[in-house]
């Protein structure tokens, strides 16, 4: 049973999957204001996805999935 107030990795993954298109759209809209060219804004958008993918192990706490034997 999960602790109250904690979220499972699947919940965090679902949330990230739901927010990713919004965040990419935001970057695509704002990148030209930051000085990126029309093609460069896509580099910013995919860069955001890459940074988030690299930070995901921190979000789940580098926990490795282990299956414990359940007492009968």
For residues 48-67, give the mean pLDDT.
Answer: 75
For residue 46, the model assigns a pLDDT of 92
Q: Where do the domains of the chain lie?
A: 20-56
For residue 67, the model assigns a pLDDT of 65
pTM passes above 0.85: no
Band (pLDDT 50/70/90 cuts) for residue 69 is low
CA distance linking residue 38 with residue 34, whole number of Å: 11
Give how far Cα 63 sits from Cα of 5, 44, 49, 59, 66, Å: 18, 29, 21, 10, 9
Residue 45 contacts residue 24 (beta carbons within 8 Å) = yes
| pLDDT tens profile 2-56 | 455 556 667 777 887 888 889 999 999 998 888 888 888 999 999 998 988 888 7
For residue 3, the model assigns a pLDDT of 55
């Amino acid at each position: 049973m999960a602790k109250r107030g904690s979220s499972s990795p699947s919940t965090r993954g679902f949330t990230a999957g739901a927010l990713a298109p919004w965040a990419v759209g935001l970057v695509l809209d704002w990148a030209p204001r930051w000085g990126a060219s029309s093609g460069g804004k896509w580099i910013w958008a995919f860069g955001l996805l890459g940074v988030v993918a690299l930070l995901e192990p921190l979000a789940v706490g580098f926990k490795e999935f282990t299956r414990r034997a359940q007492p009968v």
